[in-house]
Chains A and B, each alone.
Chain A
Amino acid sequence: MAQGTGQQHPLSIYFWIWGLLFVFSAGSYATDFLGDGYFRWALILLFMFLKAGFIVAIFMHMKWERLALIYAILGPPVVLLVLVGLMAIEGDYTELTRLDFFSEPIAPVGHEAEAAH
């Protein structure tokens, strides 16, 4: 079997990352007390990517794997950005059509107003 290929690292690195993840989580929780806005959203994304990055790189040992494995695993999810982009456009479009066709008219207009009399 593949002895000696196991991931063996000093425990201290795990404690460091553990502590960092606590700090980042506290940070992202703290953003809840900020008002909505681009600054808050940027902070949420920043803490999210920092946490995700450290979990994958250190806890899941991706940092020490060979590039063939790293790219095979981390490459494919990048195409999901295309899906996210398309669905964002589609979502906005659906909202506009709903506002157009399903919202209550503010007041009867045209011949509908005349028919009501």
Chain B
Amino acid sequence: MAQDGLTTTAESPNAAGWETIVTDWSADKQTFRVPWGKAMMWIFLLSDTFIFSCFLTSYMNVRLSTPVPWPDASTVFSLTIFGIDMPLILIAIMTFVLITSSGTMAMAVNYGYRGDRGRAAALMLMTGGFGAIFVGMQAFEWTKLILEEGIRPWGNPMGAEQFGATFFMITGFHGLHVSAGVIYLTIVALKVLRGDYERGGGNYEIVEIVGLYWHFVDLVWVFIFAFFYLW
């Protein structure tokens, strides 16, 4: 069965571009030549893309439809550090932390495929650590907004009421994804460290699958950062 999936390359070895799509989709065989776990993760991420897109689109819609001025994110999210007022500084640090975690994750995938499970697990735990730092900073940000700035899902002192609703919904759902990712990463890292995947002949595809999820979380943040914080 699985072997059938690999015969088409022999049938049309010079296929390129659209031809490969036709041969992959039309033959009576497996379409995606990747392990099923990876294909399923991609499809899950596609569905997640739609969820986050719906959130960001509804945010655009309520922001366009309110005649009340939208609060200026640059000043709402500013922090005073050593007496200097820094606009968006916490968000910038959070962005850099998440990018750094993506870098360590990419390296973990690499070491996983090399069979260096000690390094792979260590890098994954590091990635999870950065994720936890990110969620911690988000908790700090939320606390400040709720207690000091008085922002609520139904209103705030700075302007349009919809600001709080969209902010808590979008960043909350993203934070939930990061938290879930930290748990997922930790579980898989411990299994890698314990040598669970050696039994299957040392197949570390799972590290790449976790990595896909983690990079997606970083990807969503890129869009939230651009549209919610900078726009």
**Chain A 12-30 interface residues, beta-carbon cutoff 8 Å to B:** 14-15, 17-18, 21-22, 25, 28-29
Number of A-B contacts (CB under 8 A): 169
B188 → A minimal CB distance (Å)? 16
> Which of chain A's residues 52-81 have a Cβ closer than 8 Å to chain B?
52, 55-56, 58-61, 65-69, 71-73, 76-77, 80
Main DSSP-derived SS at the B contact region: helix
**How close is A34's CB to chain B, nearest CB, in angstroms?**
10
B99 CB–A CB distance under 8 Å: yes
Q: How far is the CA of A59 from the CA of B45 in the complex (A)?
A: 15
Cβ–Cβ < 8 Å partners of B154 in chain A: none
CA distance A15 to B212 in the complex (A): 17
CB distance from A64 to the nearest CB of B (A): 11
CB-based contact A90/B95 at 8 Å: no
Interface size band for B:
35 or more
| B225–A28 CB distance below 8 A | yes
A11-B107, A61-B208, A68-B32 known; A31 and B230 CB under 8 Å? yes
Cβ of A112 < 8 Å from any Cβ of B?
no
Interface residues as binary, A83-95 with B (CB distance below 8 Å gives 1, 0 otherwise): 1100110111011
Name A residues whose Cβ lies closer than 8 Å to a Cβ of B. Answer: 1-3, 5-9, 11, 14-15, 17-18, 21-22, 25, 28-29, 31-33, 41, 44-45, 47-48, 51-52, 55-56, 58-61, 65-69, 71-73, 76-77, 80, 83-84, 87-88, 90-92, 94-95, 98-99, 102-103
